[in-house]
Amino acid sequence: MLGVRAVTAVPLGSANSSGAAGPLSFQRALQQARGGSGQASGASGSLPPVDVSDAMRAAGNGRLPDSMLVPIGQGGHRLGPRAAEAFGRLNAAARRDGVAIRVTSSYRPYDEQVATADRVGLYGQGGWAAVPGTSNHGWGLAVDLDLDERAQAWMRTNAERFGFFEDVPDEPWHWTYRA
């Protein structure tokens, strides 16, 4: 059963919470939904910010060129360079511990974000998708994972060492690179 979420959908290009024009980041939308002050908690409490390079920001969420994305060794899945390198180290450590980490989603182009929102609905409407153009998937920083109970426990214990955080409430499959 899908839970209802209270993330305010703010159109791209509208004023954000500081009054500045421009896209509203997923994290800021999540903060606004929680009254503007809270963040999802990781193992150590508050989360580090999502770090998007100037080059990525200039390209735009969901509009990153292939040159800004790196394959992560599972199907056609790709992430930004730092996230891909960290995920490679995370995945290798999990394998050494006998744990399988399977990626089901990674970088999402803008059109795919729109299709996902159409398919599963927006957070602010009880669905599971961020407003297109605000998803950390669109920055090449988030992965959705197919994890059995052992793998989920391993991620919750170890992922932060590699810069990955379980940062979306009620989505234990969603992990974002934040280092």
Per-residue pLDDT at 45:
56
Per-residue pLDDT at 107:
98
How many domains are contained in the chain? 1
Determine, yes or no, domain membership for 109: yes
39 band by pLDDT with thresholds 50, 70 and 90: very low
pTM (2 d.p.): 0.74
Determine, yes or no, domain membership for 31: yes
pLDDT at residue 143 is higher than 90: yes
Q: Which residues have C-beta within 8 Å of that of residue 69, sequence separation ≥ 6?
A: 78, 79, 80, 84, 107, 140
Determine, yes or no, domain membership for 104: yes
Range name among 60-74, 97-111, 165-179 with the lowest pLDDT average: 165-179
Determine, yes or no, domain membership for 15: no
Range name among 10-19, 78-87, 95-104, 161-170 with the lowest pLDDT average: 10-19
Print the domain residue range for 45. 26-177
For the stretch 40-82, pLDDT in tens is: 334 445 788 888 999 999 999 999 999 999 999 999 999 999 9
Interstrand relation of 142-146 and 102-105 (parallel, antiparallel or unpaired): antiparallel
Are 128 and 26 a contacting pair, CB within 8 Å? no
Determine, yes or no, domain membership for 20: no
Determine, yes or no, domain membership for 36: yes
Determine, yes or no, domain membership for 113: yes
Range name among 2-11, 43-52, 96-105, 169-178 with the lowest pLDDT average: 2-11
What is the rounded CA–CA span in Å between residue 101 and residue 104?
Answer: 10
110 band by pLDDT with thresholds 50, 70 and 90: very high
CATH value at residue 88: 3.30.1380.10
Determine, yes or no, domain membership for 146: yes
Per-residue pLDDT at 24:
37
